[in-house]
Amino acid sequence: MPKSGGVQRLISFTYKPLLAALVISILLRWTDDSKDRKLPNPHPHLSRSLVVASTTSSNLTWLAPALAKSHWTPKVYVTDSANTPLTVPVNKGNEAMTYLTYIIDNYDALPDIIFFHHDHSQDWHQLFSSAYELAISICSPYRNTDTLARVACPAAKM
């Protein structure tokens, strides 16, 4: 059986490097600003629009931070106000009228990718938050967002 001094040296020899590695990892994690950077665009040659169906009472606070990290051009329609740049002719059909209006108004110049989205950050039918959907969808642009759990996207290390 080793002497108590030998055990102490062994413990000291083992825990000091581990403690140092832990402290360095924590410091690097706190100073890492990669989560605030815009993700690389794997398809820069494709134009993309984010069409959001909203109302005057919608809470769109999630949208600005999500757009800052993505490559989407926002088109936010307000369905219950005629005094906005993007609105619908008649407020019927929930989001469908917004999406149809966008397609009709832009038919001759539709972007390569269109992401039709509702105005809330997350709902019962979403597996992920809207901000995450916007970020991860750059890797696989032709996809239903319900299948995003199966997307392998190295660009979106979140």
- The per-residue pLDDT for range 8-36, each reduced to its tens digit, is 777 777 777 777 777 777 776 666 555 55
User: Please, where are the H alpha helices in 94-129?
Assistant: 95-105
* Residues 27, 57 within the same domain: no
For residue 157, tell me if it sits in a domain: no
Domain tally, the chain: 2
pLDDT at 15: 74
For residue 38, tell me if it sits in a domain: no
For residue 43, tell me if it sits in a domain: no
For residue 69, tell me if it sits in a domain: yes
* Residues 23, 73 within the same domain: no
Q: Count how many Cα atoms sit within 13 Å of the Cα of residue 90 in the half-sphere of its side chain.
A: 2
**C-alpha–C-alpha distance, residues 49 and 72, integer Å:** 5
Is it the case that residue 73 has pLDDT exceeding 80?
yes
**C-alpha–C-alpha distance, residues 63 and 119, integer Å:** 9
- Give percent of the chain above pLDDT 90: 24
**C-alpha–C-alpha distance, residues 53 and 79, integer Å:** 7
For residue 39, tell me if it sits in a domain: no
* Residues 81, 145 within the same domain: yes
* Residues 67, 8 within the same domain: no
* Residues 11, 63 within the same domain: no
DSSP secondary structure code for residue 37 in this structure: S
State the pLDDT confidence band at 157, using cuts at 50, 70 and 90.
Answer: very low
pLDDT at 74: 93
pLDDT at 151: 52
pLDDT tens digit string along 109-147? 999 888 888 888 877 777 777 787 777 766 655 555 555
Residue written as token pair 């999630």: 62
Is 128 exposed, middle or buried (CB count within 10 Å of its CB: 0-12, 13-18, 19+)? middle
* Residues 132, 64 within the same domain: yes
38-47 residues labelled b (16+ CB within 10 A) or e (exposed):
ebeeeeeeee
Instruction: Taking residues 96-107, report their average pLDDT.
Output: 94
pLDDT at 158: 43
Which structural domain, as residue segments, surrounds residue 104? Answer: 48-150
For residue 156, tell me if it sits in a domain: no
* Residues 20, 55 within the same domain: no
